[in-house]
Structure 1
Amino acid sequence: MTKRKKKRRTGRQQPSPHIVKANRLFVGSTTPRPKVPQWRFILASFGMSALCIGMTLTLWIPGRSKLNDLRDHGVTATATVIGVDSKPKYVKVRFANGTLTGREVELGEYAGMLPDMHVGESLFVTYDPNDPSRSLAHRWVVDPPVNLPAWGTSALAVFFLTGAVAVILRRRLLLTHSPPPEPA
């Protein structure tokens, strides 16, 4: 047989079972306050949102200003593709008519994209008469492709901003409607 361990005397009287039960009911009815979101998390969310907004503007403004300039002051001419990189990193064209006949330029990119072209194809190119290196395929000037990087970063900005506002509202709710923390 195993020996029973003797209970140590603590010098205090043990509460009766009905008091222990009442204490358990009372403690179960009041839950401790959940952890309050910290300000550094909120500031980090606002910072990420501001960073994404800055990236969105960086990706959006140059392409849009180039499109608007070419729509307002651009000249459209026919060109023939004379060189395409396989990546494509560049599309080189030679103008077939207009004031720049015979001149070779690389098409500009829009939203990090270049048109899918092959050597020998002809296309309409809209260019800036003061700076022919600012040129785009005419179909992109009329109907530009979707700027996915800008849309993606703007969606991230909305996500982080919404998260920061939700955490601020939760923090305010917890601080105003929950009991104060118990002293340690």
Structure 2
Amino acid sequence: MALVLWLPAQDLVDDLRSRGVSAAATVTDVDSKPKYVKVRLVSSPEAGNEVKLSDYAGKYPATHAGASMIVTYDAKDPSRILARDWVRDPPVSLQTFLCWVLAFVFLGFGVALIIRRSWVLRQPEDPSISSPQEVRLTKP
């Protein structure tokens, strides 16, 4: 689950770091949830285009309509766009962090269970327990 949240966002950041184009943009619309943030590019070959910012692991930058920001977008696909600050230093995603922690906890429990089981199976049998008593299933 952690990889599902982390890999696509990290892939976007890596692509934008390698071939991204920075441009000034103006925020045109922000949903209150926030489910999207729309920006209009101002200073780039794509000037005038209005696009939705891509999310980073389900997060959007805290902003408001009319605000200015510097964004980085993919020249091949302008719909892949993030705030430049997030391309340089991506935010920490609480959901991804919790998934990683849970993954390591369950991995630790699994390893501990395997070690315990192998230790129990290697122990010699106790001779006093080796002769089980008969249990009658019917009344005499």
Question: What TM bracket, shorter-length normalisation?
Answer: 0.7 to 0.9
* Separation (CA, whole Å) in 1 of partners of 2:96 and 2:87: 18
| Structure 1 length-normalised TM | 0.67
How many equivalent residue pairs?
Answer: 130
Greater RCO between the two (CA within 8 Å, min separation 6)? Answer: 1
Question: Which residue identity is paired with 1:135?
Answer: I
Are 2:74 and 1:139 equivalent residues in the alignment?
A: no
CA RMSD of superposed structures (Å): 1.4
Q: What code does the residue aligned with 1:117 have? A: T
TM-score by length of 2: 0.86
Write the letter of the residue equivalent to 2:31: D
- Tell me the distance in 1 between the aligned counterparts of 2:74 and 2:115: 51
Give the fraction of aligned pairs with identical amino acids, expressed as a percent.
49
Residue in 1 that maps onto 2:46: 100
Map of 1:101-140 to 2, 5 A cutoff?
A: 101-140=47-86
- Whole-Å Cα distance in 1 between the matches of residues 16 and 55 of structure 2? 13
Match of 1:69 in 2: 15
Which SS does the other structure have where 1:115 is aligned?
A: coil
Structure 1 residues 1-184: aligned runs within 5 Å: 55-177=1-123, 179-180=125-126, 181-182=129-130, 183-184=132-133
Gaps of 5+ in 1: 1-54
- Structure 2 segments unaligned to the other structure (5+ residues): 134-140
Q: Which one-letter code corresponds to 1:173 in the other structure?
A: W
The structure carrying a bigger helix percent of its residues is 1
Q: Find the aligned partners of 1:174 and 1:131 in 2 and give their Cα distance.
A: 58
| d(CA) in 2 for partners of 1:135, 1:109 | 9
Deviation at 1:160, TM superposition (A): 1.0
